[in-house]
C-alpha cells in the first residue's frame, strides 16, 4: 500500500542517433500531471492504454474514462486473476444490471458550491444554444438546496419545482441563509405567469436525463454502489465505458463530468489526513481520453490543487481549441509533462512556444504515426524538448479474466433492474400527506358528497315543488270561489231518497274521467288541480242541496278570474234568500257539529237506517225550502225578466236546467224556472 516514488511507467523509446531506448516517467513526477495532444489516429489512445495496463499489472490504483469503449474493453484483458474483485466496471449500457452513482451524495458544506459549479458547467456546455442567465440562476439555487437535503438526486430537481409539499420540506431543512432566502422570499413570490415561463425550460432539459431509463437508473439511486475514496486509498480499479455509440454523446458527457467532479472531491477529502500519513498515501492515476468532452472548472482545480493529494491526471484530446480558456490556461500553467503528436497549424503555433527553440511549428505538423515531441518531467525538473516513438501495445496475458471481471463487478456493484426501478419509484414519487382539515374544508367535502349521491336516494319532489323552485318569484295563486258554510245534517231516511243517491252516484264516473286527464302544468291552475285529486262522496242531505244551489248561483266564479262577469240580480237575490233560510233541524242551545269532511264520510247503504236518536229531515222541509226559493224567483222575474234571461244565457246556460233536474230528483213537482 506504500508509495514508491521511483517506480517508472514506460510509454516510449528514444529515436536519436538510431538508438531506441525505452523510457518512462517516475511516480513522483507523474504527480505533476501529463498532457497529450494530437490528431485522431496518431496513437494517443494506445499511449494511454499502455500506461494504464502497467498500472493495473503493477497493483496501482487508477480510473479510466473512455468515450469510445475500445480502450475500456482492452484494459479488462490486462486485469490479473488476483485483482478480479478490485475492478469496478462502469457500463451504463448494461441496462439489466445498473450501477448506482449519485454525485450529490454526502457532499460537505465547503464542497457543495464546487459540485454545483461542475454540474452547471456541464449543463452549459450541453445546452449552449438554449442557456440563459435566468435558467442558470434558478437551477443553481435548486441544486444548492437539494444537495444539502439527504437522499436527493438529479431526479429531485423536477420534483422540487412540481411538488410544493416536497419543496417546503427541502427548504425548511436548508441551513444556508442565502439559499433559503431565495426560496422563501424570492421564489415564493413568483407569479404563476413568471413561473410558467421560467420553470418549464429547466424541467425539459433535466427531463432529457431523468426520462431516459439508461441514465435514470444510474443517477436516480440515492446511494452510490461504490466509494471512490475507498477505491483511491485501497488502490482499486475504476473503468468507465462511456461509449458514445451505446450511451449517447450527451449522456456520456454528463456522466463523465459528474465522475470527474466526484473523483476530485474524493481526492480533496484526503485533506483530513496528517501530513506524514499523506506522504505515504499511494498515487491514484486518472486517465481521461477525449477529455474536452468532460472538461469543466473541476479540471482546472485538479491541475492546480490535486497534486498534494496524490491525484495524478493523464489527459488526452485532439486539438487545443476544444478546451475552454480557463482550462487551457490551467493545462499549460501546471502540467509537468507535455506530449505532442501531429497537430494542425493553429495548434502548432501554440505548441511552438512549448518546444522552441528545438522544434518549430512546421515540425509539429509533419510528425508521422506514433512519433512524438515531448518535454519530460525528471525528478521535478522539466527536460529539454526531444523526439521519441511511442511503444507498441503491451502484450496481453495468455489467459484473459475479462468475463470473470465483469461478473464480479456486477455482483459487487450492481443491482437487478427491477429492484432499482422500485427504489427510484418509491423515492421520487410524491407522497400525499393529508393536511389538517379546516371547518370550511369539511363543509366543502360534505357538499361534494351530497352532489355525487345517486338520484334514486334524492327525495322525490312533486310537480308543484319543482315548478316553484324553477321560478325566481312564485306566481300569485288564483282566487278560489268562496263556499258557504254548511251544517252537518243526517241523511234523509225516505224511499224517495234512492233516486237522489242513484243520480248523484251516476255522476261519479264523469268526475273520475276528469281526474284521469293529464296533469295540467300551468302554475296558475295548480290549486284548482289539487281540488280534483280526491273524488267527493255523493250527498243526500238538504243542506248539501242548499250548497249546490249556492254554487250554481256563483257559477261564474268557478271559471277563470281574468274576465269574470258581474253577478246578475237574479243570482244575487237567490244567494240572499238561501242565506236567510233556516232548516230548523238543530234545536236551540245544541252545539253546532264540526264542518263536514268529505273524506271521512262513508255513504250508508240504502237499506240501512240511521240512528233514531238524531233528528231526521223530512219531505216537508225540502218542499218548504223549494217553495221559498220559488217565491223569490217569481218576485225577481217580475222586475228583471229580460236581464235574467240574458244573464242566464251568457253566464251559464245550463244553470236553470241543473236546478230543475235537482229539484225533480229530490221529489219536487215543478221547477221555479218553469213558465
| pLDDT tens digits, one per residue of 523-537 | 445 444 444 444 444
Provide mean pLDDT across the span 65-75: 92
Residue 13 sits at φ, ψ, to 5 deg, of -140, 150
CA distances from 521 to 479, 493, 557 (A): 18, 44, 22
pLDDT band with cut points at 50, 70 and 90 for residue 145: very high
> 588 pLDDT band (50/70/90 cuts)?
very low
CATH code, 8-428: 3.40.50.300
What is the pLDDT, as a whole number, of residue 42? 92
600 pLDDT more than 80? no
- pLDDT value for 147: 94
Mean pLDDT of the chain: 77
Per-residue confidence band for 305, with pLDDT thresholds at 50, 70 and 90 = confident
**C-alpha grid cell for residue 149?**
437535503
Among the listed ranges 25-34, 97-106, 505-514, which one has the minimum average pLDDT value? 505-514
pLDDT of residue 454: 54
177: phi > 0 → left, psi -120 to 50 → alpha, else beta; which? alpha
Residues 154, 219 contacting (CB under 8 angstroms): yes
Which residues fall within 8 angstroms of residue 174, CB to CB, at 6 or more apart?
Answer: 145, 148, 149, 180, 183
450-505, pLDDT tens digit by residue?
Answer: 776 554 444 544 444 444 444 444 444 445 544 444 444 444 444 444 444 444 44
Amino acid 6: pLDDT:
85
Question: Is residue 558 packed enough to be buried (19+ CB in 10 Å), middle (13-18) or exposed (0-12)?
Answer: middle
- Split at pLDDT 50, 70, 90, the class of 366 is very high
Neighbours of 346 (CB within 10 A): 12
468 Cβ neighbours under 8 A, 6+ residues apart: 474
- How does residue 672 score in pLDDT terms, banded at 50, 70 and 90? low
Q: How many helices (H) and strands (E) does the chain have?
A: 29, 13
What is the model's pLDDT at position 568?
Answer: 53
Q: What is the pLDDT of residues 641-659, one digit of tens each?
A: 555 445 444 455 555 566 6
Per-residue pLDDT tens for 606-643? 444 444 444 444 556 666 777 777 777 676 666 655 55
99-113 burial: b if 16+ Cβ within 10 Å, else e: bbbbbbbebeeebbe
Q: How far apart are CA 122 and CA 130, in angstroms?
A: 13
For 522, phi and psi rounded to 5 degrees? -65, 125
pLDDT band at residue 511, thresholds of 50, 70 and 90? very low
Q: What per-residue confidence (pLDDT) applies to 83? A: 95
Q: How far apart are CA 315 and CA 293, in angstroms?
A: 11
Please state, in angstroms and as integers, the Cα–Cα distance from residue 156 to each residue in 58, 99, 104, 129, 220, following that order.
42, 19, 11, 24, 9
What count of Cα atoms within 13 Å lies in the side-chain half-sphere of residue 44?
27
For the chain, the straight-line distance linking the first and the last C-alpha, in angstroms and rounded, comes to 147
Q: Is the four-CA dihedral 164, 170, 172, 178 of positive or negative sign?
A: negative
- What is the C-alpha separation between 622 and 543, in angstroms, rounded? 10
Residue 65's Cβ-side half-sphere holds a number of Cα atoms within 13 Å equal to 27
Rounded Cα distance, 629 and 577, in Å: 7
pLDDT tier at 317, thresholds 50, 70, 90: very high
Q: Mean pLDDT throughout 103-108?
A: 88
- Please tell me the least confidently modeled range out of 128-142, 220-234, 298-312: 298-312
pLDDT digits (tens, 9 = 90+) for 163-172: 999 999 999 9
Select from 618, 614, 617 the least CA-distant residue to 593.
Answer: 614
pLDDT attached to residue 180: 94
- pLDDT confidence band for 24 (50 / 70 / 90): very high
Three cell numbers written together for 655: 244553470
Torsion angle of the four alpha carbons 50, 56, 62, 65, in this order, in degrees rounded to the nearest 10: 50
- What are the sequence ranges of the domains in the chain? 8-428, 473-499+540-558+565-583+612-675
Give the span between the Cα atoms of 214 and 149, in whole angstroms. Answer: 25
- pLDDT band, very low/low/confident/very high, at 325 (cuts 50, 70, 90): confident
Q: What is the pLDDT of residue 132?
A: 87
What are residue 653's phi and psi, to 5 degrees?
-65, -25
The label of the residue with cell 479540471 reads: 299
pLDDT (mean) for 577-600: 49
Helix (H, G, I), strand (E, B) or coil at 617: coil
What percent of the chain stands above pLDDT 70?
66
Residue with cell 352532489: 451
Kindly state the average pLDDT of the residues 202-209.
85
pTM: 0.63
Contact 377, 25 (CB under 8 A): yes
CA 439 to chain centre: 25
State the burial class of residue 644 (Cβ atoms within 10 Å of its Cβ: 0-12, 13-18, 19+): buried
Q: Environment class of residue 493 by beta-carbon count within 10 Å: exposed (0-12), middle (13-18) or buried (19+)? A: middle
Per residue in 538-579, pLDDT tens? Answer: 445 556 666 656 665 555 444 444 444 445 555 565 556 555
Helix, strand, or coil here: 371?
strand
Amino acid at each position: 500500500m506504500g508509495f514508491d516514488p521511483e517506480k517508472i511507467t514506460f510509454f516510449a523509446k528514444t529515436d536519436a542517433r538510431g538508438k531506441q531506448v525505452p523510457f518512462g516517467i517516475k511516480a513522483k513526477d507523474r504527480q505533476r500531471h501529463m498532457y497529450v495532444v494530437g490528431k485522431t489516429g496518431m496513437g494517443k489512445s494506445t499511449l494511454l492504454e499502455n500506461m494504464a495496463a502497467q498500472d493495473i499489472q503493477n497493483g496501482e490504483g487508477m480510473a479510466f474514462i473512455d468515450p469510445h469503449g475500445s480502450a475500456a474493453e482492452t484494459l479488462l484483458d490486462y486485469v490479473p486473476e488476483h485483482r478480479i474483485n478490485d475492478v469496478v466496471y462502469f457500463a451504463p449500457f448494461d441496462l439489466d444490471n445498473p450501477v448506482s452513482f449519485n454525485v450529490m451524495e454526502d457532499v460537505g458544506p465547503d464542497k457543495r458550491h464546487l459540485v454545483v459549479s461542475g454540474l452547471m458547467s456541464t449543463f452549459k456546455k450541453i445546452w449552449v444554444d438554449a442557456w440563459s442567465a435566468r435558467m442558470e440562476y434558478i437551477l443553481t439555487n435548486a441544486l444548492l438546496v437539494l444537495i444539502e437535503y439527504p437522499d436527493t438526486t438529479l431526479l429531485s430537481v423536477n420534483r422540487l419545482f412540481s411538488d410544493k409539499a416536497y419543496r417546503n420540506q427541502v427548504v425548511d431543512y436548508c441551513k444556508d441563509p442565502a439559499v433559503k432566502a431565495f426560496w422563501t422570499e424570492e421564489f415564493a413570490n413568483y407569479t404563476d405567469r413568471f413561473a410558467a415561463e421560467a420553470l418549464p425550460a429547466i424541467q425539459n432539459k433535466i427531463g432529457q436525463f431523468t426520462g431516459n431509463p439508461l441514465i435514470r437508473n444510474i443517477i436516480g439511486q440515492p446511494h452510490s454502489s461504490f466509494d471512490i475514496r475507498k477505491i483511491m486509498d485501497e488502490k482499486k480499479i475504476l473503468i468507465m465505458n462511456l461509449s458514445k455509440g451505446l450511451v449517447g454523446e450527451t449522456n456520456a458527457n454528463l456522466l463523465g463530468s459528474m465522475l470527474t467532479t466526484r473523483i476530485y472531491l474524493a481526492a480533496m477529502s484526503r485533506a483530513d489526513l496528517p501530513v506524514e500519513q499523506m506522504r505515504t498515501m499511494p498515487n491514484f492515476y486518472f486517465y481521461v481520453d477525449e477529455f474536452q468532452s468532460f472538461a469543466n472548472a473541476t479540471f482546472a482545480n485538479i491541475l492546480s490543487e490535486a497534486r498534494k493529494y496524490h491525484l495524478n491526471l493523464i489527459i488526452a484530446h485532439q486539438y487545443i481549441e476544444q478546451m475552454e480558456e480557463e482550462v487551457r490556461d490551467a493545462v499549460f500553467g501546471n502540467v509537468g509533462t507535455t506530449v505532442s503528436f501531429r497537430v494542425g497549424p493553429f495548434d502548432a503555433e501554440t505548441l511552438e512556444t512549448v518546444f522552441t527553440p528545438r522544434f518549430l511549428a512546421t515540425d509539429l505538423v509533419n510528425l508521422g504515426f506514433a512519433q512524438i515531441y515531448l518535454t519530460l518531467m525528471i525528478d521535478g525538473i522539466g527536460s529539454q524538448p526531444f523526439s521519441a516513438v511511442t511503444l507498441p501495445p503491451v502484450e496481453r496475458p495468455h489467459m484473459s479474466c475479462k468475463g470473470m471481471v465483469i461478473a464480479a463487478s456486477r455482483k459487487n456493484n450492481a443491482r437487478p433492474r427491477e429492484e432499482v426501478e422500485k427504489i427510484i419509484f418509491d423515492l421520487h414519487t410524491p407522497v400525499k400527506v393529508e393536511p389538517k382539515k379546516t371547518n370550511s374544508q369539511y363543509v366543502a367535502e360534505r357538499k361534494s358528497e351530497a352532489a355525487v349521491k345517486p338520484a334514486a336516494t334524492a327525495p322525490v319532489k312533486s310537480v308543484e315543488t319543482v315548478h316553484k323552485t324553477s321560478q325566481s318569484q312564485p306566481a300569485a295563486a288564483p282566487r278560489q270561489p268562496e263556499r258557504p258554510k254548511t251544517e252537518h245534517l243526517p241523511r234523509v231516511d225516505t224511499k224517495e231518497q234512492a233516486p237522489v243517491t242513484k243520480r248523484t252516484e251516476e255522476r261519479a264516473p264523469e268526475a273520475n274521467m276528469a281526474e284521469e286527464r293529464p296533469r295540467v302544468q300551468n302554475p296558475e291552475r295548480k290549486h284548482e288541480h289539487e281540488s280534483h285529486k280526491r273524488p267527493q262522496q255523493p250527498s243526500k242531505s238538504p243542506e248539501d242541496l242548499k250548497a249546490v244551489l249556492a254554487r250554481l248561483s256563483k257559477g261564474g266564479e268557478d271559471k277563470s278570474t281574468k274576465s269574470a262577469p258581474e253577478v246578475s240580480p237574479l243570482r244575487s237575490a237567490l244567494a240572499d234568500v238561501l242565506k236567510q233560510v233556516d232548516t230548523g233541524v238543530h234545536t236551540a242551545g245544541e252545539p253546532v257539529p264540526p264542518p263536514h269532511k268529505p273524506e271521512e264520510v262513508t255513504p250508508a247503504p240504502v237499506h240501512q237506517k240511521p240512528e233514531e236518536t238524531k233528528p231526521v229531515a223530512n219531505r216537508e222541509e225540502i218542499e218548504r225550502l223549494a217553495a221559498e226559493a220559488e217565491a223569490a224567483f217569481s218576485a225577481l222575474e217580475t222586475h228583471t225578466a229580460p236581464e235574467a234571461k240574458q244573464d242566464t244565457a251568457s253566464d251559464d246556460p245550463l244553470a236553470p236546467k241543473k236546478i230543475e233536474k235537482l229539484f225533480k230528483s229530490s221529489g219536487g213537482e215543478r221547477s221555479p224556472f218553469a213558465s
